[in-house]
């Protein structure tokens, strides 16, 4: 009886093993704190250009993180564990923090700017 219960418990818990060390979805990665001091001397045009550059980099990192999730899901299926977060997740947090600092500088200078397209 104990053997049967142990076997059933093992079968029931095996799918949960695939959830170990999975990467964080991009939508759950928040921006790291970044000081806006370095943007104080930027004019509106330079701030807008910086915001565009950061938005493009954010899109690249979101795509890289989504690819890491797909790869990790495949690995978890075969080996029972995922890859976890890599450099993409930490850089994405930094880029999102930088973007918020630039937006704050744009607001402080009363610059007009268009909201970039939201990422997934």
pLDDT in tens, 10-60: 555 555 544 578 889 999 999 999 999 999 999 999 999 999 999 999 999
> Which residue range(s) make up the domain with 44?
2-108
The pLDDT tens digits for 68-100 are 999 999 888 888 888 888 899 999 999 999 999
Residue 116 included in any domain = no
Residue 115 included in any domain = no
- Domain total in the chain: 1
For residues 24 and 98, give the distance between their C-alpha atoms in angstroms, rounded to a whole number: 20
CB 24 within 8 A of CB 85: yes
Residue 113 included in any domain = no
Residue 101 included in any domain = yes
Through-space distance between the first and last CA atoms of the chain, rounded to whole angstroms: 49
pLDDT of res. 6: 56
């Amino acid at each position: 009886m104990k053997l049967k219960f142990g076997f059933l418990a093992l079968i029931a818990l095996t799918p949960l093993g695939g959830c170990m060390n999975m990467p964080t979805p991009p939508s759950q990665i928040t921006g790291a704190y970044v000081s806006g001091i370095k943007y104080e001397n930027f004019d509106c045009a330079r701030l807008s250009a910086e915001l565009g550059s950061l938005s493009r980099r954010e899109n690249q990192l979101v795509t890289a993180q989504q690819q890491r999730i797909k790869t990790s899901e495949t690995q978890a299926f075969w080996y029972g564990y995922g890859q976890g977060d890599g450099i993409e997740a930490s850089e994405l947090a930094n880029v999102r923090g930088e973007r918020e600092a630039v937006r704050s500088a744009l607001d402080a200078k009363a610059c007009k700017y268009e909201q970039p397209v939201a990422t997934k």
